Structure 1
Amino acid sequence: MAVIKAFKGIRPVQDLASKIAALPYDVMNSDEAREMVIGNPHSFLHVDRPEIDLDPSIDIHDPKVYEKARENLDRMITTGEFTQDEKPCLYIYRQIMNGRSQTGIVFCASIDDYMNNIIKKHEFTRADKEEDRINHVDYCDANTGPIFLTYKEDQIASEIIEAWIENESKRKPVYNFVAEDGITHIVWVIDNDIIISELTDLFKEIDYLYIADGHHRSASAVKVGLKRRAENPNYTGEEEFNYFLAVAFPDNDLMVMDYNRVVKDLNGLTKDELIDKLQEKFIVTESTSEEPLKPAKKHTFGMYVEDKWYLLEAKDGIYDPEDPIDSLDVAILQNNVLTPILGIEDVRTSDRIDFIGGIRGLKELEKRVHKDMKIAFSMYATEVHDIMDVADIGEVMPPKSTWFEPKLRSGLFIHQLK
C-alpha cells in the first residue's frame, strides 16, 4: 500500500517556468553547470549547483555552498520568481520526447514507505553523495527535485489512475514549454479535494513503488526526515519532513535507453587473440555495414574495435536464465568479457572503463575509440520489468545498468519541509 500526500507546491511563475526549469544536478559537473547558466540568472542550477555562484576554488562540499543554495532559493521566492499554491495539491507532469510521452503524478511520498520497502530500490548509494544531498536538503529546508518513481501498470488501480490523469489533462496546463534540448514539459495542477482524495485512495491499492532514478536524493531526503524526527520527538507523522518530493509514472510509459561501455585497452591482447577468447562464449560475427551496430535483442552486443563492428551473441550456458541478475546483459558482459578477458574487476572504481548513455548515440562510441579508448560495446537497453524483478528479490542492479530519458526537470516543484 503506497502512501501519497498532496502538498503546497512552490512553483515558478508561469512566464519564468522555461527559464527556471533545469536538468538534475547530477547529470553535469560544476564547469558544465557554469556554462549552462550563462545568460540565464533564473536557472534553478543556481540552487541545485550553487557553487557556480562562488569562487571555483571553494570545495563543492563546503558549508558556504549549501548556504548559497538556501540564499539563492530564498531570493528567488522573495523576488517573485516562484509562487506557492494556497492549498495542498497534486500535479500532473508530462514529458514529450521525439513524439513519445510519459505522464505521471507529482506528490509527496512517505519516508516510512521507503524504510519499509514499499518504495523499492535497485541501486547501492555512496555515503559521500548522500551526505552532499543531506546537507542540501537540510540547508534549503526543502526537496528541490522530484524522485523518479514507477509502478506496475497491470493493476486495476493504475488503470483508474490513468483515467483520472487523462481526464484532468484535458484542462489548460499551467506550464507548457519546450526546453533547449527539444523536450516538451507540461504541468497541470490538481486542486480539487475530491479528486485528490480519490487518487490518494487509489495509490493505497498500488502494491509497490519503484525508484527508477534518484537513489541518492531519496536516501538523503529520508535521512533528513529522520533527523527532523529526532529533533522533534513529539512529531505526529503528518509534518512535511515525514515526506519527500516524488513523481510516479506507470511502467509502460517509461523508456530505458542503452548504457554503453568503452575500455581504454585490450588488456595486452591483440584483436585476433581477443576474438579467439570471445568465441569460447559468444558467436562472433563481423558486421558488413559501415553503420554502428545496435543490438536488436537481449543477450546480444555490438563491439567496435580497430574500425570494425562485430555482433556478439551469447551462447547458451554462460548465464542462468532464471536468475534476474545473472541474465541481465550488463552482467553477462561483465562476467564473461570485462572481468575475465579485459581484466576489469570493479567497474565502479576502474579508470580503464567509461560509460556512455544511449542519448549520446553510437557514433559517440566510435568517437571515443578514435580519441582515448581502444574498444567499445553497444548494449541492448535494460527493460523496466528487469529492474522491478531485481528490486522484488531485494537485490541491486549491476553498476551503470540503466539510463532513463527524458530526465525530470528540477525547479518545477519544490516541497518545503516546514
Structure 2
Amino acid sequence: MHRITVIGGGLAGLTAAIAAAEAGAEVTLHEAHHTLGGRARTADAPYRRNEGPHALYKGGPHWTWLARRDLIGPLAPLPPLEATRLRLRHHGALRRTPPLAMLKLLHRATRHHAPVDTDFLTWATELAGEDGARAAAHYSAVALFHHDPGALSAAFVHERLRRATRLPPEAHYPRGGWSTLVDRMATHAWNLGVRLETLSRVDTLPEDSPVIVATSLDAARRLLKDDSLTWPSGRTTLIDLALHPLPRPRSIGGPPKGDAFAVSDLDAPGWIERFTAQDHTLAPAGEQLIQGQIPIAPHQTKADGVTRAEQLLDLGFPDWRERLTWRREAVATARTGAVDPPGTSWRDRPAIDRGDDVYLAGDQVASPGLLCEVSFTSALTAVSLALGRTCLDREHT
C-alpha cells in the first residue's frame, strides 16, 4: 500500500486525499487551522459568509467528479424573479442590459480564436471597439478578480468571459455556504480511511512518503524554500454587509421593486452580490447578506476598494446605510487564483511535480480550469504522479 502525505485541508487537499484513498493509498492530511476548508471556509452564524463571493461552476470536470461521489449536495437555486435583478454599471449609470458594443463583442468573439500572446483589450478592441472591450474585460472580473483584466492574455480572459456569460448560468451555490461542501468532502475522506489532522502545522517535509503540498503558493514557497514558486494573482477589497430588507411595493403593471440581486461594474472591475437572494439560511430572518469583491491595484488601499464598493451599493441597494445591521471589510492578497499575462498559459505556471516525491496542488499551479477548478484538477494530477501513474483510473476522474 502506498503512503501519501497531504499538507493543506482546502479543496485541493481534500480532493487529493479522497483520490489517493480511492486508489488504495494510506493518506494522512495535515491542516494548520482548527477547521478544514482553506479559502472555502464559511463563517459561523449569524452571518454565514464565505471568504469573498463564491460560486461553483457546473461546466468543469470537477463538477462531474463531485457529483459521482454525491458530494455536491443541495443547491440554492436563484428564483426567476431575482435572476432579473442583475444590474450593470456603465458610464456611471445602472442598467439592466449590457451595452450594445459589449453584446457585439460577445457575439463576434465566439467566431474568433483568442490569442495567448496578445492582451485582451487589444484583441477585443479590434473586434468591437474600445468601449465594448473595456466593458467586457471588467465584467470578466467576476471570474478572475484582477484589477486590470484587459492587460491579461486574451485567451485567458476570453475563456472566463465565455463561461461567465453562458446561458443557462454555470454558477451554482451550495446551500448553507461552502462549508457544507467541505463537510461532505471531509466525511467522505474519513470514511475512506483518511487520517485528518487539524491544528497540525508542517514545517519539515516527511521523507518516508510522497508529499502533496496543497497550500497557497506563498505558503508552499516558504515550506519548500523555493523562491521560484511565484505567479501573478489578484488583490481585492472584500466587503460584507447585512441589511434589513427594502420594502418592495408592487408598481402598477411591473415587477416588485427592491434590492438588486447583483451589481457588476463595467466601468472598473467589481462585483456586489446579495447571497440571500438564493439562500435565506445565510443570515437571520429579516436580514440580507451582501458580499462584494473589488479588485485593487498594487498601489491602491483597502479604502480605495471600499469607496468603489459603496458606489455600487448606492446604485443597487437604495438607502443601504440606513438599513445596515452589520459590516466587515478586509483585503485579500494572492487569493483569487492564477492570472495569466500575455504570452503565458496555465502550462507556464509552477509545475505540479517538484521532484523528490513532492507535488503541488492549488489554484496557482500548472493545471487548467476556472477558479477552484484549478485546485481540483491539479490535485488529481498530483495524486496520479505521486502514485507513479500517467493518469487516474476512469472511475476516479
TM-score grouping bracket, smaller chain normalisation: under 0.3
- With structure 2 as the length reference, what TM-score do the two structures score? 0.22
Larger gyration radius, structure 1 or structure 2 = 1
- With structure 1 as the length reference, what TM-score do the two structures score? 0.21
- The structure with the largest strand share of the pair is 1
